[in-house]
């Protein structure tokens, strides 16, 4: 993966694609002020360099029947690397877990979990997460409402 030195146009391309990944290359080129062929070359270079990892549709969880979101702090009995990897592999097999982040401090992991309803969340909690090997503690924080969700990372001009 070859690194590309980002200039102002590259940053603008990343910003535009972060905010609307479905636009055509012609529209993207128009928005960033260059012609389509060099714009496409830049996008491909950004993809090859790893700045763009993929393109995704933002799905409406509630419309698809997932009305519950819960953040869960998980503490493990052992933090040996093979135990951490085993937990991460188990988490990878749970479709309800949408994000998993290893932490420092009080908990070892934070999980973002979506569930259709409280009953399915409870079944997952008591049937999968709590009895999982090496799990020592679980603290849950159900989401009451979301007030901000932005895709990607901030892209400043620097």
72, 137 contact by CB (below 8 A): no
Which of the 8 DSSP states describes residue 123? H
SS3 content of the chain, % helix, strand, coil (to 5): 35, 20, 45
pLDDT in tens, 97-130: 999 999 999 999 999 999 999 999 999 999 999 9
* Residue 156 scores a pLDDT above 60: yes
Average pLDDT over residues 30-45: 96
Outline where the chain has alpha helix (H). Answer: 8-19, 25-32, 36-48, 81-92, 118-124
The domain 68-142 having CATH identifier 3.30.70.920: the answer here is yes
Q: Which of 55, 72, 81, 63 is nearest to 134 (CA)?
A: 81
Domain ranges of the chain: 8-48, 68-142
d(CA 121, CA 123): 5
Q: Could you tell me the pLDDT band of residue 4, with boundaries at 50, 70 and 90?
A: low
The domain 8-48 having CATH identifier 1.10.10.10: the answer here is yes
Distances in Å between the Cα of 60 and the Cα atoms of 23, 63, 111, 153 are: 20, 5, 19, 21
Tell me the percentage of the chain whose pLDDT exceeds 70: 96
């Amino acid at each position: 993966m070859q690194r590309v030195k980002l200039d102002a146009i590259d940053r603008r391309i990343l910003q535009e694609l972060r905010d609307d990944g479905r636009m055509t290359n012609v529209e993207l080129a128009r928005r960033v002020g260059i012609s389509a062929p060099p714009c496409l070359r830049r996008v491909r270079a950004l993809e090859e360099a790893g700045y763009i990892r993929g393109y995704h549709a933002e799905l409406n969880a509630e419309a698809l029947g997932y009305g519950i979101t819960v953040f869960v702090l998980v503490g493990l009995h052992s933090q040996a690397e093979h135990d951490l990897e085993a937990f991460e592999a188990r988490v990878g097999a749970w479709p309800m877990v949408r994000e998993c982040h290893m932490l420092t401090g009080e908990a070892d992991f934070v999980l973002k979990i979506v569930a259709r309803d409280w009953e399915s969340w409870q079944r997952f909690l008591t049937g999968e997460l709590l009895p999982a090997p090496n799990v020592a503690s679980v603290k849950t924080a159900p989401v009451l409402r979301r007030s901000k969700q932005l895709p990607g990372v901030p892209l400043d001009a620097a």
